[in-house]
Structure 1
C-alpha cells in the first residue's frame, strides 16, 4: 500500500461517517484510525469512551469531579456507601460541644 492508498481509504472512511455530533477534526481523526486499524467506527468510539473513562479514573480526575459535584468518590459509588458509612463513623453522632475540652 502507498500514501495514495491511505489518502483514498481515509477519504472514503470520512465520507462514510454519519456522526453529525462530531466536528470536522474529530471525524478526520476517526477516519484515520478506522483506515489504519481497519476497524469499525462504532467499535473505535466504544474503545475511545473506555480509554477516556480509564484514564480519567486512574488519574484521579473522576474522583475529583465526583467529589466536587456529588461529595462522593467512584469507590463509594461502586460500593453504594460513603467512607463514613463503611467505617462506622456515621453511627455515632459527634458532639459539637467544645467546652468538654476546657478545664
Structure 2
C-alpha cells in the first residue's frame, strides 16, 4: 500500500464517523469512566472520550506505535503522511535508476 492508499482510507473513515458514535462498554470500562467522570467533573461524558482519543493518539505517536502500524500497513510513517510525500520523494532517492550490481564495476 502507499501514501495515496492511506489518504483514501483516512478520508473514508472520516466520512464514516458520525458526529455521535454508539459505543458499548464492558464493566471495567464503565467503572473507569464513572471514576474519571466523578473525579474530573467534565461538563459532558463526551469530553472524557474526546480527551481519551487525544491521549491515545499522542501516546501512539510518541512511542512509535503509530509509525509501526503505518509502516506495516501502508509503508509510510506519520511524518511522511503529514508532509504528503515519502522519504524517498523528499530526498530525491526515487529519481535515480536502480543500480545493476553485476555490471556496476565493469568498465
Report the TM range for the smaller structure's normalisation: 0.7 to 0.9
- CA shift digits 1:48-83 (9 cap, x unpaired): 000000001000111011101110000000111000
> What TM-score does the superposition give when structure 2 sets the normalisation length?
0.73
Match of 1:51 among 45, 55, 78: 55
Q: Which runs of 5+ in 1 are unaligned?
A: 1-18
3-state SS, counterpart of residue 95 of structure 2 = coil
What is the CA RMSD across the aligned residues, in angstroms? Answer: 1.6
Separation in 2, partners of 1:83, 1:98: 27
Matched length? 85
Residue 24 (1) aligns with residue 17 (2): no
Corresponding residue of 1:5: none
Corresponding residue of 1:93: 97
Q: Moved runs in structure 1, 4+ residues, more than 4 A?
A: none
Stretch deviating more after TM superposition (20-29 or 76-85)? 20-29
Corresponding residue of 1:74: 78
